[in-house]
Amino acid sequence: MSHDELITFNYNGHSFVYDIADADEAEKYEAAIKKMGETEKSLPKDGTISVIYRAQCKYLKDFFDDILGAGAGEKVCGTKDNITTCYNAYIDFLRFIAAQRDSILDTRNALRDLSPRKTAQPQPVQKFNPPAPKPNQQKKRHH
């Protein structure tokens, strides 16, 4: 998979470029997740199903707007408040982020494996010391 494919979130006929390896984008993601945690506390827990679904869809659409830009929530989730559609979009986005994180870890591991190790000690050069001849291999001396 190319880097461009890795950072392009294609969903519901729309494409969004989002690269979690970029510090600014990572910061945006962290802020959106934090906002979700705060908003989740105020989501209705009881009442009619339609009220609960609308609130949850707005919550997820707002997440996409915060991450991918204004209007992204409706582009990704659609204009209707279908909770299954919104959940599936969110799951796919989390998988998209997970694939990027896996790629970052793979790169970091490759760098670790390929980089010279600072702690490696040079091995001493061993001198060639031929083994001593066995008693039956010693030359016989004639007096």
In 3D space, the residue among 73, 95, 70 whose CA is nearest the CA of residue 6 turns out to be 95
The sign one gets for the Cα dihedral 114, 118, 120, 125 is positive
Q: What is the pLDDT of residues 77-96, one digit of tens each?
A: 999 999 999 999 999 999 99
**pTM of the predicted model, to two decimals?**
0.75
Mean pLDDT of the chain: 86
Residues 45 and 73: beta-carbon distance below 8 Å: no
Rounded CA separation 128/125 (Å): 9
Domain boundaries defined on the chain: 3-113
* Six-digit token string for 39: 């908003």
| pLDDT of 141 above 80 | no
